Structure 1
Amino acid sequence: MSRVATWEPRLHALITGAMHRPFAWGSHDCALWGADIVLALTGTDHGAAFRGTYDDAAGAAAALRTHGAGTITRTFDRHLERITPGLAQRGDLVMIGNGRAGSIGVCMGALGWFVSDEGLISKPRPEWSRAWRA
């Protein structure tokens, strides 16, 4: 998947806009955050089938079974190339935790930005368990 020419300002705008936006199932959760990153970078929306279809954790799990590959990890594996977290570059997707209880974020160098109840939070590279080229 190739990035659009304007991916850098689009990524910056997305991060700036989400900095203080709290977590919300079905509109601003980690899966849709990852899809939003890929959309900003490539123009491809892998999250279109998911948007607006759930509003809680059980609904998110059902959406992953219905529209995805069963888990968040397998769903991202279906659409993106998995890479070693240590090789992630700016704009690539990264994960903390495991495939069932993990959270997707975006690599911005040594830190990844992840959705939380307080807005975006950063986690350092050594905490990343998986990564995908975006």
Structure 2
Amino acid sequence: MIELKRRERWMGPFCDVFDDIRREPISWDRNDCALLAARNIYALTGVDLSLPYRGKYHDGASAYRLIRDQGFTDLADFAASILPEHAHPVDAQTGDIAAIPTDTPFGHVLGVFDFDRIWVLGEEGLGTVDREKAVRAFKVG
């Protein structure tokens, strides 16, 4: 697990992440929910947690195989192995990572808390869901 520290002026780079992502098509290994979380973490802290995984998957099956090979069957458990977890999602702050249940093999999708909403990537692109959808939350700095 890694302890991250937020940059002093992180709000501008935080907003830039979503402006950049909304212009890109959804694609595995370039613009997916895990990379949304990683881009956010990089913007807030300057730490790129995606480096060990970039280029190692190209679709849902290979992405799932990658987290399974790390010893996890659930994307939220994988995130918990890297980031400290809040006791409850209600404690999450803007920029923290959300885990939202899904009926895919990953068990959860990752999103980014933004006040009373969560930024998520779906088949239609970037959108938001209610904060209450999160069942787990991870600290970013």
TM-score of the alignment, normalized to the shorter chain, above 0.5? yes
Please show how residues 47-62 of structure 1 align to structure 2 within 5 Å. Answer: 47-62=50-65
Counterpart Cα distance in 2 of 1:113 and 1:10: 15
Counterpart Cα distance in 2 of 1:107 and 1:27: 21
List runs of 5+ in structure 2 lacking aligned partners. Answer: none
- CA deviations on 1:10-62 (whole Å, 9 max, x unpaired) are 11101111124332111111111111111111111111111121111111012
4+ residue runs over 6 A deviation: none
1:126 match: 132
Q: Answer whether contact 1:20 1:119 (CA < 8 A) is retained.
A: no
2:110 match: 104
| Superposition TM-score, scaled by structure 1 size | 0.90
Question: What secondary structure is seen at the aligned counterpart in 2 of 1:122?
Answer: strand
| Superposition TM-score, scaled by structure 2 size | 0.86
Counterpart Cα distance in 1 of 2:94 and 2:33: 17
Counterpart Cα distance in 2 of 1:133 and 1:23: 25
* Equivalent residues, number: 133
CA RMSD across the alignment? 1.7
Q: Answer whether contact 2:76 2:107 (CA < 8 A) is retained.
A: no
Query: 79, 86, 91: which one pairs with 2:90?
Result: 86
Counterpart Cα distance in 2 of 1:117 and 1:43: 28
Query: 5, 9, 12: which one pairs with 1:6?
Result: 9
Q: Which moved more, 1:15-24 or 1:88-97?
A: 15-24
Q: Answer whether contact 1:21 1:120 (CA < 8 A) is retained.
A: no
- CA deviations on 1:88-133 (whole Å, 9 max, x unpaired) are 1110111211583311011001100001122211100111111111
Counterpart Cα distance in 2 of 1:69 and 1:27: 23
List runs of 5+ in structure 1 lacking aligned partners. Answer: none
